Chains A and B, each alone.
Chain A
C-alpha cells in the first residue's frame, strides 16, 4: 500500500514543483477579474467616445416622432427617401429610416438604410420604439389621452425570494445564480479536460519509455493507475483551494472597500431624496450584495468539490485508459471521442437547458446521469436542488466512477504492455473482455 503512496507523492510533487504550476495558480485568479475589468473599461470607453449617430427619418404617415437617445438622434430634414439616401451616401447621416404609408393595423414595409450592417441593438431599439408608437397611436384612436397614457406606464422589478423549510426568506437573484452556475460548470469542464490530459500524457510517457514495465513489476497496474489519477487530482485540488483562498481574500478586501463606502452613500441619499432616484445603481449593487450574502457558500463549495473530484475521477480513469491504449499523444485522438462527446453534451446542456430552466426534465436528467452530472448539476445547485435529487446524482456519480475505473483498469493493464500496432475499438473491447 505504501507504494501507491509513493506513486501519488511522485505525481504530486513532480507537478507542484514546476514553475508553470506556481504561475498558473497565482495568476489565474487575477487574470479572470483582469479580463472582466478590461472588458468593462473598454465598453465604458466606447460608450463615452461614441459620437452621436444621426438617423434621417422619412415618415410618409406623419404619425411618428422618434425620441432621440444619447446614442441616436433623429432628424426629419428631407421629405423623400431618395434625398435621405443621398445624405447617407455623403456620410452626413448614419442611416435612414423609411416609414411608408401603411395601415396601423398591419404595419409593413418599414426599412432602414445604412452604409454598414446595423447592429442588432439598433434594429431592436428601432423596433421597440416603433411598436410603442404604433400602440400609442392605436390607444389614441380608441380615445385614450396621451397624458393618461404616460401616467399609466409603470416600471416594475420583481424581487425573488426563496422560502426555507423554517419559513425563513432569502433574497435570490437569477443573474447571480446564473453566474455561479456558469462559472462552476465551466471550471469543472476545464478542470476535467486539463487534468485528464495530464493523466493521459503521464501514462503515455511511462508507456513509451517502458518505465511502466519497471514499475508494474513492483506494483499492480491498478495501483499504478490509481496512484497517478489521485496524485494529479491532488494537484488540481491544491490549485483550486489556493484559488478559493486568493479569491476569498481578494473579494473580502473589495467588499470591505465597498462596505465602507455604503453608509456614506446612504447618508447622502437620505439628505437628498432626489439623488436617490437619480442613482438607482447603488440600490442594485446593494441588492446583489444582499443576494451574495444569502448564498450558502459553504455547501456550494462542498458540492463543487464533490462534483469536481467525482467528475475528475470518473473521466480521469478513461483518460488513463486512452493513454494506455496508444503509443503517442497524436494517436490518442481517435479514442478521445467517447470522452469528449459526453463532456460536450454536459457543457452544451449547461447553457442550452440547465441555466435557462434549472428544473426542467432535461436539466434533471443531465444532472443525474453521471457522465454529464458534474457539469450540469453545478448549473442547478445555486438555484436550489431537492435533497433526494442531489443524493441520487451524487450516488450515481460514485457508481459511475467505479464503473469507468473498472473498465479503464482492464484496458490499462493490457494496453501499457502493447507496443507497435495501433489498436482499434474492437481490440480494446477484447482487452476488456479478457480475464487474465
Chain B
C-alpha cells in the first residue's frame, strides 16, 4: 500500500502540491486525474524520489520512502525514450542493473520478458531500427523488469496503436492480478473507466475528489433518466430531449428536475408504452470537466 500524507511542494512562489493526501490500496489500479499543470508530474517525481517534497510523507508498506525503496517502484514517463544507438539487450540489462538486479538475475528476467512478448529475435537490434510500437514494448519491459511492487504509469496509452494498447492493457491487468499496485496518471477518461478501481482528481495543486469509480459516480447522482417509448399517443413536453426516433420508437433524455424516478415513470406511462427506463450515470469525463470548472469558479 502506498500512502501519501500532507504532501506540500512549492517552486518559488508557485504551489505545485498543497496538503495532498492519497491512499493507493494494494493490488489495485489507482487513477490520478487532473488537467495539465495540476501537480501530477510533481507528485510522481516525489514518489520516484527524483525531487524532494517540502513537507509531508510518502509511505510504502508502512515505511517512509528511502533510497532502497526505489527498487520497488517502476516508472514509465509520459514521453518515452530509450538510448537510440543502444541494442535492445544491452539496454534492458543496463536498466535492470541500475534498478539493482545482479548480472545473472538481469539476464534471466530480460530473457523471460523477451520471450513473453515473442521478441527474442530483436535482441541485437538498435532502438533506432525498431518501429515506435516495438520500442514502446521495450520501454514497458524496462519499466517492469525488476518486478516493482508499485508501478507508476504516466499516460501509458498515448502513442500506442489499438493492437499494442490492448496488449499493454492486458499486461497491466495481469500485473495487478499478480499483486502490483498501479498508479495511472492520465487525462484519458476511457482508460480510467476501463481500468481503474479508484481515482483521485488533482486540480491546481489540490485534491478535489477521490474514491472508487462506482462511489464517485453515485455521488454525482444522475439528474437525468434515459428512457425509450413506443406507441406515442400525445405530444412530448419540450424539455424532454429526443435522442433518436425509429419505427415509432423514441429514445429520450429527461431531466429529473427534483422529481423522483418513480414519479417520472408514472408521468411517462401516460405518453405511451415504456420499453426501457434507466438512470443515466455521468461519465468520468463529465465529472472531471464539471469539477475542474466548479473549482475554477470557486
Q: Which A residues contact B (CB, under 8 angstroms)?
A: 3, 6-7, 10, 13-14, 18, 205, 208-211, 213-219, 417, 436
Contacts and interface: CB of A to CB of B under 8 A. Distances in A.
Dominant SS at the B interface? loop
Contacts of B94: 6, 10
| Contact count band on B | 20 to 34
Given A6-B97, A14-B85, A209-B79, 7 more contacts: A13-B90, A205-B81, A210-B77, A210-B79, A211-B81, A213-B48, A213-B75
Nearest to A414: B51
Contact of B50 (A7, A209, A213): A213
Q: Which of B73, B80, B98, B143 has the most CB of A within 10 A?
A: B98
Nearest to A6: B97
A123 to B, nearest CB: 55
Tell me whether chain A's interface is mostly helix, strand or loop, or mixed: helix
B82 A209 contact: yes
Contact of B95 (A205, A208, A214, A216): A214
Nearest to A214: B75
B182 to A, nearest CB: 17
B70 A205 contact: no
30 contacts: A6-B98, A7-B98, A10-B90, A10-B94, A14-B85, A205-B83, A208-B81, A209-B79, A209-B80, A209-B81, A209-B82, A210-B78, A211-B81, A211-B83, A213-B50, A213-B75, A214-B142, A216-B50, A217-B48, A217-B49, A217-B50, A217-B73, A217-B75, A218-B70, A218-B98, A218-B99, A417-B50, A417-B51, A436-B52, A436-B54
B100 interface: yes
Interface string B43-72: 001001111101000000000000000100
Nearest to A212: B50
A261 B94 CA distance: 56
A232 to B, nearest CB: 14
A7 B50 CA distance: 17
Contacts of B52: 436
A18 B75 CA distance: 30
A13 B90 CA distance: 10
Contacts of B75: 213-214, 217
Contacts of B45: 213, 417
A258 to B, nearest CB: 44
A49 B92 CA distance: 64
B80 A218 contact: no
